[in-house]
DNA sequence: CCGTAAGCGAGACGGTACGTCACGTCTTCGG
DNA sequence: CCGAAGACGTGACGTACCGTCTCGCTTACGG
């Protein structure tokens, strides 16, 4: 049966006729990523427009709308792509947290690297833009969190668990919360410009978080 | 006397023809505040437009452009006005942190109240919008910080210093950094939706921050 | 040959990025013409706005700005289009001046027809508007003259020259000036409402012009 | 004192509370006339605004709205004032048409003077503006006609009647129409820029009009 | 190996909002 | 109470982008 299928079946599996991924132009995709990052860096996120990205990438607007649903979406993918490139360029486990046995030292080292990264002008503009958009746009916020932040945070969870097993952290402490004690203040300062970022600052955070504010 | 004064000295101090503040319509100003807050709550910040605010407030666009420089600026003032009203309505020392002698209890009480406030739908939308805009727009970010956040943070600084004098906090700890240990994680979770907000959560933060993660 | 031409030479002759005429929507164009003429007739030229035309035509403002430079420009083209349609509808030589051998009779016939046309409410409003705008706006005035008036005036020149050859008009008379003797007074009366328009009036003009005011 | 004055009786006699003419500031009036004429000459009629006139005249907007009903109205009065001044400056019967007994010569002389006047840059801009506005705005058109044009035209009527009595013009000719034969073409050429203005041109008009186009 | 259907660059289209300008009204002060 | 000043509600301006929609034109595949 099904003799007369006649299938111009537009969507094999998809519910909403997604374009044919195999025919996608990688050339255009890369050009769009580059244009998006460049524009955000040059004129800021709000003045970055889809038309502007298309023009700069030498691409039709439809090519953007075909593959992404919004400006924020383009930028998120562009940023992820940038991160991957950077990661690949810098060798494998760039962001894995070392385990020298000295938890405080390991955390300080990683946070110092983070501070340096946050100051890299290539990252600053798009990162801020994504963070801001995520605050207001729930869908993007979730994507930003799961695709970009969670993987890094998981590394802290792993390291803290190892420290617990080694008896360097209170066994009943929840690592998912514990890591916020030094990560959140850093993020906050950077996002809100509420104070200077420095290695000394993150070192202090680690000390306070590990040993508490109350006198021993 | 002074018959031939003729002095129509227009600007006593002004640098560039600012409108005459004494003639400002308080009626319009209030209507604009209300419209702005309502729209942000109803349709979200990005879909809130100056034209929309003007229409809803029954006001000309120019009346907005005359007194504010941007949508964010309007919203910031509207929010400040809302806060002031709320403060006046709730009696004097609403936000002062109590000092019962038990620092942990006092902090937990305040943070629980903060959690409740962050969940108030009247505050959520505009607060998020302002926080997001401040991330990307440096000028607004600074205003947001100094006018809205700093006064609250200062209360923590004061309470922490009192605790230091009472010997409940290590004397060498910097209160400005110390407060970030419990304030920043809460802010972060709320802004990034990276976890549930609850009284239990903030209680935990206070415990971790005061006593540290390392075993005693 | 020419394998690597790569020449995407964008503008062969163009001076400054004119829109692509081949992609122009004829549907919109006609709708704009109709809306413009209707609005001028209904509310008058000064109260006719580009926004109004766009709204009535169901068209974006930009579609007007893309193809025309001003309200007057739209109206001029709309009026030209209207004239062409009317001409096509009325057969070929509508406006050609007949040559029965009796110059006075021929001129009177044509001027009577002109009087009737000037009273047609479809023509009155846009025609007045264009004439008025042309007085003040030199560029439009020239367009109005060359595209709309000159062709008609040329018909008078032709007829007068034929009359000269037939010995019915003084051979040294300049037809370009001569025609003004009966055309200009009619135009003037109509534009300035300085007197009633009637067939008797134009007949009189022709008589005066052909035979002069001085007694014979 | 005067605590219970309360009398803000708005309109003592008038049907529509016209302001008290006796208190009118002549200083402001003159300043407004000058500003209006200057602006029309400098930036053109459409870009001349009431606000601009008020600012340039050092006058409140209300002072203009109190005494005039529209921009066109201001300009008409300003122009009338200018004409009167010019007339007063140039002695009495400037514009009276001479009667030397030679009608053609007299008309040529007057029309030559008119051509010269039409070229005076002080007159050109406001005159054009008023003529154009009058075409489209019936009320102003009538005022323009009766206050500015009719008095001049009447002079031609008078001169033509005198010529009729002297037997130099056909007795059955209607002077009101006859004058249009040379006045309208000149006006038309000037308004529509449909040809050069020169003394030779107006001379020709007079010859054609007086002696006709048909061969004698 | 050739037709056909996709992705593509381009950009016109119906719209919405922008930020500015001028309108005509209204209110405040000073003379 | 006139007049200078100018804030106000209104509405049009001309521009910038939005997201959708054709247009040819490559370009890869499947009969």
DSSP string of chain B, one letter each residue: --TT-------SS-SS----GGG--HHHHHHHHHHHHHHHHHH-TTT--HHHHHHHHT--HHHHHHH-SSHHHHHHHHHHHHHHHHHHHT-TTTTPPP--S-HHHHHHHHHHHHHHHHH-HHHHHHHHHHHHHHHH-HHHHHHIIIIIIHHHHHHHHHHHHHHHHTTSS-TT--HHHHTHHHHHHHHHHHHHT-S---HHHHHHHHHHHHH-SS--
Instruction: Please choose, from the candidates C139, C173, C143, C141, the residue with its C-alpha nearest in 3D space to the C-alpha of residue C159.
Output: C173
Question: pLDDT class for D215, splitting at 50, 70, 90?
Answer: confident
Q: Are D192 and C149 in contact (CB under 8 A)?
A: yes
Q: Say yes or no: do domains C24-87 and C95-211 share a fold.
A: no
Q: What is the mean pLDDT of residues B8-20?
A: 52
The answer to whether A136 contacts B44, with C-beta atoms less than 8 Å apart, is yes
Torsion of CA C131, C135, C137, C139, to 10 degrees: 80
Q: Are C153 and C182 in contact (CB under 8 A)?
A: no
Quick check: do A and D touch, 3+ CB pairs under 8 A? Answer: no
- pLDDT(C26) > 70: yes
Long-range contacts of A20-26, Cβ-Cβ distance < 8 Å, separation of 24 or more = A24/A67, A25/A63
Question: pLDDT class for A202, splitting at 50, 70, 90?
Answer: very high
Q: Given the structure tokens 């440096």, which residue do they identify?
A: B138
Question: pLDDT class for B88, splitting at 50, 70, 90?
Answer: confident
Q: Which two tokens stand for residue B94?
A: 């609403």
Question: Half-sphere exposure of B65 toward its Cβ, with a 13 Å CA cutoff?
Answer: 6
Angle between helices B121-136 and B26-43 (to 10 degrees): 90
The answer to whether C132 contacts D136, with C-beta atoms less than 8 Å apart, is yes
Average pLDDT over all residues of chain C: 89
3-state class percentages of chain D: helix first, strand second, coil last, to nearest 5:
70, 0, 30
Question: pLDDT class for D4, splitting at 50, 70, 90?
Answer: very low
Asked whether strand E has any atom less than 7 Å from the CB of A61, the reply is: yes
pLDDT cut 90: percent of chain B above it: 76
| Helical segments of C4-149, H only | 26-43, 50-57, 61-67, 71-89, 103-119, 121-136, 138-143
Query: Which residues of D are less than 8 Å from C195 in CB distance?
Result: 176
Three-state secondary-structure class, residue A45 = coil
Question: pLDDT class for A49, splitting at 50, 70, 90?
Answer: very high
The answer to whether B185 contacts A181, with C-beta atoms less than 8 Å apart, is yes
Question: pLDDT class for D22, splitting at 50, 70, 90?
Answer: confident
Q: What is the mean pLDDT of residues D60-85?
A: 93
Question: pLDDT class for C94, splitting at 50, 70, 90?
Answer: low
Distance from CA of A75 to the nearest CA of B (A): 15
Q: What is the mean pLDDT of residues C40-67?
A: 97
Nucleotides of E under 7 A from a protein CB: 6-31
Burial pattern B120-150, b for ≥16 Cβ within 10 A else e, equals eeebebbbbbbbbbbbbbeebbebbbeebbe
- pLDDT(D51) > 70: yes
pLDDT on residue A48: 96
Q: Are A118 and A128 in contact (CB under 8 A)?
A: no
The answer to whether C181 contacts D181, with C-beta atoms less than 8 Å apart, is yes
The answer to whether B134 contacts A192, with C-beta atoms less than 8 Å apart, is yes
Q: Which two tokens stand for residue C88?
A: 């096509």
The answer to whether B191 contacts A135, with C-beta atoms less than 8 Å apart, is yes
pLDDT cut 70: percent of chain A above it: 90
Asked whether strand E has any atom less than 7 Å from the CB of B49, the reply is: yes
Question: pLDDT class for B91, splitting at 50, 70, 90?
Answer: low
How far is it, in rounded angstroms, from Cα D25 to Cα D40?
23
pLDDT on residue A105: 96
The answer to whether C177 contacts D185, with C-beta atoms less than 8 Å apart, is yes
Query: Which residues of D are less than 8 Å from C168 in CB distance?
Result: 214-215
CA to C1' distance (Å), from D49 to F4: 18
Q: Which two tokens stand for residue B16?
A: 């560039």
Q: Given the structure tokens 């402001």, which residue do they identify?
A: D28
Question: Does the structural domain B23-78 have CATH classification 1.10.645.10?
Answer: no
How far is it, in rounded angstroms, from Cα D178 to Cα C181?
10
The answer to whether B132 contacts A136, with C-beta atoms less than 8 Å apart, is yes
The answer to whether A214 contacts B177, with C-beta atoms less than 8 Å apart, is no
The answer to whether C210 contacts D213, with C-beta atoms less than 8 Å apart, is yes
Q: Are D186 and D111 in contact (CB under 8 A)?
A: yes
Q: What is the mean pLDDT of residues A90-114?
A: 87
pLDDT on residue A93: 56
- pLDDT(A216) > 80: no
Which residue in the set C132, C141, C205 is minimally distant from D193, CB to CB?
Answer: C141
Topology of the domain comprising A99-211: Tetracycline Repressor; domain 2 (1.10.357)
Q: What is the CA radius of gyration of chain B?
A: 22
Which residues are CB-contacts of B107 (< 8 A; sequence separation ≥ 6)? B97, B159, B182, B206, B210
Distance from CA of B128 to the nearest CA of A (A): 6
Chain B residues 141-180 with a CB less than 8 Å from chain A: 141-142, 144-145, 149, 167-171, 173-174, 176-178, 180
- Complete DSSP assignment for A130-187: HHHHHHH-HHHHHHIIIIIIHHHHHHHHHHHHHHHHTTSS-TT--HHHHTHHHHHHHH
Q: D137 or B28: whose pLDDT is higher?
A: B28
Question: Half-sphere exposure of B53 toward its Cβ, with a 13 Å CA cutoff?
Answer: 32
The residue of chain B nearest to residue A189, with distances taken between CA atoms, is: B184
| Helical segments of A3-149, H only | 26-43, 50-57, 61-67, 71-89, 103-119, 121-136, 138-143
Residue positions counted in chain D: 216
What pLDDT, in 10s, does the model give residues B138-175? 989 999 999 999 999 999 999 999 999 999 999 999 99
Contact status of A189 with chain B (Cβ, < 8 Å):
yes
Q: Which two tokens stand for residue C30?
A: 């006609």
Question: Does the structural domain A24-78 have CATH classification 1.10.10.60?
Answer: yes
Helix (H) or strand (E) holding A69: none
pLDDT on residue B17: 63
Contact status of B126 with chain A (Cβ, < 8 Å):
no
Average pLDDT over all residues of chain B: 89
Long-range contacts of C83-91, Cβ-Cβ distance < 8 Å, separation of 24 or more = C83/C148
Classify residue A177 as exposed, middle or buried by CB count within 10 Å of its CB (0-12, 13-18, 19+): middle
DSSP summary character for residue D98: P
Quick check: do C and B touch, 3+ CB pairs under 8 A? Answer: no
Q: Which nucleotide is nearest to A59 (CA to C1')?
A: E9
User: Domain locations in chain C?
Assistant: 24-87, 95-211
Lowest mean pLDDT segment, chosen from A38-52, A81-95, A202-216, B119-133: A81-95
Classify residue B14 as exposed, middle or buried by CB count within 10 Å of its CB (0-12, 13-18, 19+): exposed
How far is it, in rounded angstroms, from Cα B111 to Cα B105?
10
Question: Does the structural domain D23-86 have CATH classification 3.20.10.10?
Answer: no
CATH class given for the domain over C95-211: mainly alpha
Q: What is the mean pLDDT of residues B125-131?
A: 93
Provide the sign of the torsion angle of the four alpha carbons A131, A137, A140, A141, taken in this order. positive
Q: What is the mean pLDDT of residues A59-71?
A: 96
- pLDDT(C122) > 50: yes
CA to C1' distance (Å), from B61 to F10: 9
C-beta within 7 A of nucleic chain E, residues 11-50 of A:
19-20, 23-25, 27-29, 31
CATH number of the domain located at residue range(s) C24-87 in this protein: 1.10.10.60
- pLDDT(B12) > 50: no
Distance from CA of D144 to the nearest CA of C (A): 9
Lowest mean pLDDT segment, chosen from A35-39, C61-65, C207-211, D9-13: D9-13
Q: What is the mean pLDDT of residues C138-156?
A: 93
- pLDDT(B3) > 60: no
The answer to whether C192 contacts D145, with C-beta atoms less than 8 Å apart, is yes
Query: Which residues of D are less than 8 Å from C193 in CB distance?
Result: 138, 141-142, 145
Contact status of D206 with chain C (Cβ, < 8 Å):
no
User: CB neighbours (10 Å) of residue B101?
Assistant: 11
What Å distances lie between residue B100 and A171, B107, B109, B163, B166, CA to CA? Answer: 31, 10, 11, 10, 12
Q: Which of D184, D197, D216 to mutate to test the interface with C (most CBs of C within 10 A)?
A: D184
pLDDT on residue C96: 79
What pLDDT, in 10s, does the model give residues D172-203? 999 999 999 999 999 999 999 999 999 999 99
Nucleotides of F under 7 A from a protein CB: 1-24, 28-29
Asked whether strand E has any atom less than 7 Å from the CB of B17, the reply is: no
Q: State how far Cα C141 lies from the chain centre.
A: 11
Q: Which two tokens stand for residue D128?
A: 């054009």
How far is it, in rounded angstroms, from Cα B31 to Cα C136?
44
Q: Are A128 and B135 in contact (CB under 8 A)?
A: yes
Distance from CA of B177 to the nearest CA of A (A): 8
Vertex A198: Cα angle to B216 and B130 (nearest 5) = 100
Lowest mean pLDDT segment, chosen from A170-174, B3-7, B193-197: B3-7
What backbone torsions phi and psi does residue D135 show, to the nearest 5 degrees? Answer: -65, -35
How far is it, in rounded angstroms, from Cα C131 to Cα C191?
8
How far is it, in rounded angstroms, from Cα C82 to Cα C89?
10
- pLDDT(D108) > 70: yes
Q: What is the mean pLDDT of residues D121-146?
A: 91
Q: A83 or D95: whose pLDDT is higher?
A: A83
Q: B204 or B13: whose pLDDT is higher?
A: B204
Q: Which of C103, C136, C205, C206 to mutate to test the interface with D (most CBs of D within 10 A)?
A: C136
Residue whose CA is minimally distant from F21 C1': A62
The residue of chain B nearest to residue A144, with distances taken between CA atoms, is: B192
């Amino acid at each position: 049966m099904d003799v007369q299928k006649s299938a111009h079946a537009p969507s094999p599996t998809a519910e909403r006729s997604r374009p044919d991924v195999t025919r996608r132009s990688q050339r255009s995709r890369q050009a769009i990523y580059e244009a998006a990052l460049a524009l955000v860096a040059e004129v800021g996120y709000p003045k970055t427009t889809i038309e502007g990205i298309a023009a700069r990438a030498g691409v039709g607007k439809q090519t953007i709308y075909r593959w992404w649903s919004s400006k924020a979406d383009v930028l998120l993918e562009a940023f992820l792509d940038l991160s991957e490139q950077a990661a690949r360029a810098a060798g494998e486990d760039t962001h894995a947290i070392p385990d020298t046995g000295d938890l405080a030292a390991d955390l300080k080292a990683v946070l110092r690297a983070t501070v340096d990264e946050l100051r890299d002008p290539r990252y600053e503009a798009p990162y801020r833009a994504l963070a801001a958009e995520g605050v207001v746009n729930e869908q993007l916020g979730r994507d930003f969190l799961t695709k970009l932040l969670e993987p890094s945070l998981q590394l802290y969870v792993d390291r803290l668990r190892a420290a617990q097993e080694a008896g360097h952290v209170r066994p009943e402490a929840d690592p998912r919360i514990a890591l916020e004690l030094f990560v959140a203040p850093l993020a906050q300062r950077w996002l809100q410009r509420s104070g200077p970022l420095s290695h000394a600052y993150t070192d202090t955070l680690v000390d306070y978080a590990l040993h508490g504010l109350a006198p021993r």
